[in-house]
Amino acid sequence: MSERQKRIIVGISGASGIIYGVRALELLKAAGVHTHLVVSKAAEMTLAYELDMTAKELRGLADEYHPSTDIGASISSGSFRTVGMLIAPCSIRSMSEIATGVTGSLMSRAADVVLKERRRLVLAVRETPLHTGHLRTMLQLSEMGAVICPVVPAFYNKPKTLDDIVNHSVGRMLDLFDIEVGAVKRWKDDEEA
């Protein structure tokens, strides 16, 4: 599949770090990847706390936006083909709901569909510290096929700004879908060139 033909679901839940979801949408748009967005109610709250951006502006970054209550949306069916779903940031609550298979919202239903179709599910979990229940849930999800990708900044690429850190982290999340957005300063790539 070329980048232009790719469709990806982006979920934004109510963990701190909504900038990760926003940046993923921006980079995917620039790369010509078609995005389907679902935003939880709590994420609308973190958006207001963390960014100077309205919910309408956030929705406008995606090619298609689905309300989290729309359980009949295209992305709730496995017959609707996508390369998978990235949830960034992923709250402990959303992560735990996905692990149980009790899919009460479009966010968890879409993630469950991605798992059952054996497509890529990447959960950019943001919480610290973690208790044993969180760690057990992460292990369970990993065994179910999800990729647990906690948002942890790298420093080997010598970031100078918060944007450098965010871009690198999001670029590494999108690497997991084999989507190149040009945001990652890769280790020793220069030497090879």
Q: Which parts of this chain interact with ligand FMN (CB under 6 A)?
A: 13-16, 40, 42-43, 45-46, 49, 91-94, 126-127
Closest approach of Cβ 125 to ligand FMN, in Å? 8
Nearer to ligand FMN, 34 or 59 (CB): 59
Nearer to ligand FMN, 90 or 174 (CB): 90
At residue 59's C-alpha, the angle toward residues 85 and 48, to 5°, is 105
Closest approach of Cβ 73 to ligand FMN, in Å? 16
CB count within 10 Å of CB 186 equals: 12
Nearer to ligand FMN, 110 or 184 (CB): 110
CB 95 within 8 A of CB 150: no
Closest approach of Cβ 191 to ligand FMN, in Å? 37
Classify burial at 49, counting beta carbons within 10 Å of its beta carbon; exposed 0-12, middle 13-18, buried 19 or more.
exposed
Q: Which residues contact 193 (CB under 8 A, 6 or more apart)?
A: none
CB 116 within 8 A of CB 171: no
* Residue in the shown chain whose Cβ atom is closest to ligand FMN: 14
Closest approach of Cβ 20 to ligand FMN, in Å? 11
Nearer to ligand FMN, 151 or 184 (CB): 151
Sign of CA dihedral 127, 129, 133, 138: positive
